[in-house]
Structure 1
Amino acid sequence: MKKNTLLAMMLLAAVILQCCQPADRTGAAGDTTTAVDHTRINSPGSAAIGDGIQTAMFLEKAVLMIKLETEWGRLAREKGGSLRVRNFGKGAEEELTTVKMPLNAIAAAKGLKLPDVLPVKEQVRLREMNRMEKEYFDKLYLKMVLEDYRKNIELFKGAVNSPDTMVSNFARRFLPVLEKRGLQAVHFSKRYR
């Protein structure tokens, strides 16, 4: 057991050391391998690698959140049983699409490639919702959106305090949009209980 723990710790130390190597380095065969350049991820004046990792994690979560909520909105617009749900979905789709461009600009400035495909779990949820009868769709849609907005608002509230000024400014700018949509989701969900 001690041998396995020691081996795992050595492997972890090797991974950490590997991550701290310069971004571009030449291998033994002359090939160039590229690692994430943490100095580009960090904002100017921020020297901590942890801040860069937090920034990258926030950007990844935020882009996936926007993509998911946009897809939920599209689905509600197309499949919603009531006009209110269809309009709510259309509004979410339009508002969150405007959030995507500045998010991509921040990622580009930091040299990050953000995911453009939703995780399989979310793709399955969307497919299941798409197959659902309209009479059940509205209630479940609002429940899921409400849960997602709560998580997303917490994510953005945390990012407001980020040491990375680009991230904190982005979060400050778009947190009110999420809070507004979250309040609307709470209001609509009360009608469907």
Structure 2
Amino acid sequence: MKTTAIATLLLVAGASLTSCHSEQSKDRRDTTVNSNARPSGSDTAGTPANKAGSEDPSAQFISEAAVSGLLENEMGRIGQQKAQLQAIKDYAATIERDHKVAGTGLAEIAKAKNLTLPLTITAEKQEHLTDLSQMTGKDFDSYYTNMMVENHLTDIALFEGASKSPDTAVSHYALKLLPTLQKHYKQARELASKFDQNKR
């Protein structure tokens, strides 16, 4: 009986040691996996502004403003090449110039915050650009000016929101740019009124 009891105790102890060893090995593997994982946003080149946007309203604004600026610059370039009316060509040149200046200021804020600006526009906006670039004559002028009205309405709403930001760098930048955006919007409306598609 004593021999049987001792044998049973040895078997139980051995099973316990095996189980503990297995758990310790698992813990070591988990620790190794976690230590090899890179933290989110640890890119040494700077955190992408759009990646941080869901957590940081300032980064979200910077990302959206940068994408809008890329779109406006491209539309300025296309407008100067393809517009039929000289007034629209002149407007397009103003758009490109003003948004390049705005982009420089935005890049300075992003650099100070270690944020990386997006370099491409969204697929939806690219689709509008593609449609625009395929048009000619009055169709181009009408579509272009109406696009500018819509884009600047969106921009004004974005910058008005940012002008109330507790982040002073962002709020000062937004307040400085708002008059220019409002002027662009007014000019676009005046040009678009000449090309109301429902009256052609």
What TM-score do the two structures reach when normalised by structure 2?
Answer: 0.73
**What is the CA RMSD across the aligned residues, in angstroms?**
2.3
Larger Rg: 2
Runs of at least 4 residues off by over 6 Å: none
Q: Could you tell me whether the CA contact under 8 Å between 1:51 and 1:164 is conserved in 2?
A: no
> How far is 1:50 from its partner?
9.0
Q: Following the alignment from structure 2 to structure 1, what is the Cα–Cα distance between the partners of residues 78 and 56?
A: 33
Question: Which residue of the other structure, out of 81, 94, 115, is the alignment partner of 1:78?
Answer: 81
Q: Following the alignment from structure 2 to structure 1, what is the Cα–Cα distance between the partners of residues 111 and 55?
A: 14
Partner of 1:174: 177
**Match of 2:73, as an amino acid?**
T
> How far is 1:36 from its partner?
3.5
Q: Could you tell me whether the CA contact under 8 Å between 1:80 and 1:86 is conserved in 2?
A: yes
Structure 1 gaps of 5+ residues are 1-26, 42-48
Q: Following the alignment from structure 1 to structure 2, what is the Cα–Cα distance between the partners of residues 51 and 116?
A: 19
What TM-score do the two structures reach when normalised by structure 1?
Answer: 0.75
Q: Following the alignment from structure 1 to structure 2, what is the Cα–Cα distance between the partners of residues 134 and 51?
A: 42
Q: Comparing both structures, which one devotes a greater share of its residues to helix?
A: 2
Identity of aligned residues (%): 28
Q: Could you tell me whether the CA contact under 8 Å between 2:145 and 2:191 is conserved in 1?
A: yes
Q: Could you tell me whether the CA contact under 8 Å between 1:153 and 1:178 is conserved in 2?
A: yes
> How far is 1:68 from its partner?
0.5
Could you say if the C-alpha distance between residues 165 and 52 of structure 1 is closer, same or farther in structure 2, counting changes exceeding 3 Å?
Answer: farther
Q: Could you tell me whether the CA contact under 8 Å between 1:51 and 1:163 is conserved in 2?
A: no
Partner of 2:32: 28
Structure 2 gaps of 5+ residues are 1-30
Could you say if the C-alpha distance between residues 84 and 114 of structure 1 is closer, same or farther in structure 2, counting changes exceeding 3 Å?
Answer: same
Matched, 1:165 2:165: no
